Amino acid sequence: MNNSFNRTMRSFFLESGAEILKSFRAPEFILPTLLMPVAFYTLFATIVPMGPESAPYLLATYGVFAVMGPAIFGFGISVANERDKGWLALKRVSPATGGSYIAAKVLSTLIFASFSVASIYLVAGFAADVSFTRATWASLLMIHLFSVFPFILIGLSIGFLCNANAAVAVSNILFLSFSALGGLWIPIMVFPPAMQSFAHFLPTYHLSEIALAVSQTSGQGDISYHLLVIGVMTALLALSTALAWSKQRNS
């Protein structure tokens, strides 16, 4: 049992190192996912702010935006590419466990998501004069990092079901749709009523509302409602990911 645990941990660390190195060798992935959220936040929170409360409000919503990119693109496109090249089939017959493969990608995604969120926090604190208590900063960071997991499941489903070319298109469509229609860029209260109702079906809306509630910025609805909806969405996404994994293993 001890030897089995050691092999599993060794496999995990090797997979993690390979994932992180692969990401650093792909600047076309690193630069957009790390720089775009902080660039947008800097523009709308400090250069052309929409109002005196825009900086803390956008900090909550752009934090969700910051973690969504590494998750959807890091899993969706990466897994699809590796599946097309036969890497997943090779890993199934190798000593490495499937759990190590997924766990390594999760760790890599969390690392890059943390960098992206930290850059926004630095701009918020030093350039936009956002002032929270330490407990609020810590709670907001926890919410933002936990927000990565529903999008990891979405990315995995894309990677298991789409080929590499289709994964790029689907990932971009979902990334932009979730951001714009979920109220991450513009508060949904300025949307037409039909679009406001549609936002309730998107994880980005509920995650941003949770972040707004934690940061004590104006949000909509009770936080328990949004937590319940995200829990149900995550469970459904986990089920769809398991089905997608089963389909690609049997194909």
pLDDT digits (tens, 9 = 90+) for 32-75: 778 889 999 999 888 887 777 789 999 999 999 999 998 998 88
Residues of the chain with pLDDT under 50: none
Measured distance CA(40)–CA(86) in Å, rounded: 37
Strand residue runs (E) in 20-70: none
| pLDDT for residue 62 | 95
pLDDT digits (tens, 9 = 90+) for 24-44: 766 666 777 788 899 999 998
| pLDDT for residue 106 | 85
Q: Decide if 183 contacts 61 (C-beta within 8 A).
A: yes
| pLDDT for residue 98 | 60
Domain residue limits at 41: 2-250
Measured distance CA(91)–CA(75) in Å, rounded: 16
Q: Which two tokens stand for residue 136?
A: 């609020």
| pLDDT for residue 58 | 93
| pLDDT for residue 123 | 95
- Interior/surface letters 157-193, b for 16+ CB within 10 angstroms, e for the rest: bbbbbbebeebbebbeebbeebbebbbbeebbeebee
Measured distance CA(190)–CA(84) in Å, rounded: 42
| pLDDT for residue 173 | 94
What total number of domains does the chain contain? 1
| pLDDT for residue 3 | 66
Q: Which two tokens stand for residue 59?
A: 């900090």
Q: What pTM was computed for the model?
A: 0.89
Q: Which of 153, 149, 169 is nearest to 244 (CA)?
A: 153
Integer-rounded Cα radius of gyration of the chain = 19
Query: What is the residue whose two structure tokens read 């499937």?
Result: 98
